[in-house]
Each structure stands twice: as C-alpha cells, then as structure tokens.
C-alpha cells in the first residue's frame, strides 16, 4: 500500500511519526519555521507555505515565484482573517494565481474566537473567482464536513483532504459523515493526510481504512486517495 501524507508538520520534530510514506507534503504555518527547515526537506517531499498576505506578502509572492515551494496555505485562525479581510486576500492571491500552486485552506472549526473561524461562504467565493486554481479543503470541514461537501462537491477545482478529522473526531457522531464523503464524493478529488503531530499518524490511517471498508471502497480508489491524487498535486503536477 503506497502512501503520500498530504499534511505533515515538523512542529515537534519527527519522533513518533509511525508511517512510512513515499512522500510527504510539509506544511509550514510560520515563515520562520519554513526558513529553518526548507533545505532539510527530502527531494521526494513537497513544501506548502503559509500565505501571509497581511505582513509578508511580497516575500511570500517572491518565494512562490522562485519555484521553491509547491503549495500555499490559507489559515483564517492563524492569520486572523476576518470578514472584512477577504477582499484584501483575494487581491493578494491574484498576484500568485498564475503560478497554479495548489492552495490549502484550513477548514477545521475549533476555539472560541468565532470571527476568525473558517468562512465557507468566502471560501466558495474564492473557489469561483479562481476557477483555474486547485483548492484543497484541509480537514474536509471538520465538524462541518457535510456543509463543505454539499456546497463544494460540484466545484471541479476543489479537493477534499482528510487530515486530522478522522482520528480527532472518530468518537463523534460526525465521523459517519466522512463515510458519506468517501461513498459519494469524487474519489479523484479526495486525498489522505495525517496532520502529524496533532494526531497519531498511524491511527489516522486506520480510521481511513475503517471507513473505506465500511463503504466497500475498491483498492484502485484507495490507491488514489492514499497516494496518487496527492502525488499528482504536489510532486508530479500535470
């Protein structure tokens, strides 16, 4: 079984990472962390960098244009993106849109700061404004997975990424909704990730395999979700 971990963090080091994937997408939520680690990322892996459009926009745009990164990340809670900030985000993104870098959008709902939670309406607007760009919905919406699936499933430039949610929410009622995503979603537009170290990487895989068994997913589709779809996005883009 081949694996590509589409959502990996080095925040606490790699000790305890208990999978052996053929590649990983390193996601850097801080620019200082990216600068520290970028030269240590294996050639088989890819790098996704936070799109800090408010404080370091020019630097990130230049780094994206250099070809040293393979993806961008938008994280409303970390960047403090509120409703009135989205027009500025869209304007800034227009500077890098032509690079066609896969763009990860955090969609996990947690914490008490409600005004900086992910904004599905604005995410849908961004997806429509930039139809030639691929947007990866990190964590597939978390506790709102059905909202994200039903509102975005017909957008051909949206990919649902499973990281964190399966393991983190495996004891919640919403876990069954991820089975709906796997049963009825386009399996060419679903990718596996762990979000290590925030959940146990192997447990995340076991949760996926449990759902895949429940929906009787064939091996060819498991291969797409666990490896091929993300590999083609980050490492071998067409």
Confidence of residue 12 (pLDDT cuts 50, 70, 90): confident
Q: Which two tokens stand for residue 117?
A: 């939670």
> What pLDDT sits at residue 114?
98
Q: What are phi and psi of 217, to 5 degrees?
A: -75, 130
Task: Report the top-level CATH class of 4-234.
Answer: alpha beta
- Spatial distance between the Cα atoms of 65 and 198, rounded to a whole number of angstroms: 30
pLDDT beyond 80 at 238:
no
- Across 151-209, the runs of DSSP E, i.e. the strands, are 158-161, 190-191
| Separation of alpha carbons 44 and 207, rounded Å | 25
User: pLDDT tens digits, residue range 75-88?
Assistant: 999 999 999 999 99
Domain spans of the chain? 4-234
Do 118 and 86 form a contact (C-beta atoms < 8 A)? no
> What is the arithmetic mean of pLDDT over 165-192?
98
* pLDDT surpasses 90 at 31: yes
Considering only 10-14, 85-89, 141-145, 155-159, which range has the smallest mean pLDDT? 10-14
Residue 97, pLDDT > 80, answer: yes
Q: Which residues contact 232 (CB under 8 A, 6 or more apart)?
A: 238
What is the per-residue pLDDT for 237? 87
- HSE-CB for 222 with a 13 A CA cutoff: 17
pLDDT in tens, 102-123: 999 999 999 999 999 999 999 9
Q: Which residue has the tokens 């978390």?
A: 142
Q: Which two tokens stand for residue 213?
A: 């068994």
Mean pLDDT value across the chain: 97
Which pLDDT band, with edges at 50, 70 and 90, does 216 fall under? very high
């Amino acid at each position: 079984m081949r694996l590509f971990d589409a959502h990996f963090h080095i925040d606490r080091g790699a000790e305890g990472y208990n999978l052996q994937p053929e590649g990983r997408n390193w996601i850097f939520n801080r620019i200082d962390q990216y600068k520290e680690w970028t030269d240590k990322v294996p050639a088989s892996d890819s790098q996704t960098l936070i799109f800090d459009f408010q404080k370091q926009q020019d630097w990130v745009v230049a780094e994206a244009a250099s070809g040293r990164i393979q993806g961008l990340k938008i994280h409303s809670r970390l960047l403090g993106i509120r409703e009135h900030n989205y027009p500025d985000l869209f304007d800034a993104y227009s500077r890098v849109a032509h690079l066609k870098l896969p763009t990860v959008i955090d969609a996990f709902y947690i914490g008490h700061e409600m005004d900086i939670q992910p904004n599905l309406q604005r995410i849908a607007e961004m997806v429509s404004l930039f139809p030639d760009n691929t947007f990866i919905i990190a964590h597939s919406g978390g506790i709102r997975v059905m909202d994200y699936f039903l509102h975005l499933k017909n957008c051909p430039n949206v990919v649902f990424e499973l990281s964190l949610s399966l393991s983190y929410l495996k004891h919640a009622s919403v876990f069954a909704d991820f089975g709906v995503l796997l049963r009825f979603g386009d399996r060419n537009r679903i990718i596996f990730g762990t979000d290590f170290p925030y959940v146990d990487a192997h447990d995340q895989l076991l949760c996926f395999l449990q759902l895949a068994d429940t929906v009787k997913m064939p091996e060819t589709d498991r291969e797409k979700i666990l490896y091929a779809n993300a590999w083609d996005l980050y490492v071998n883009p067409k």
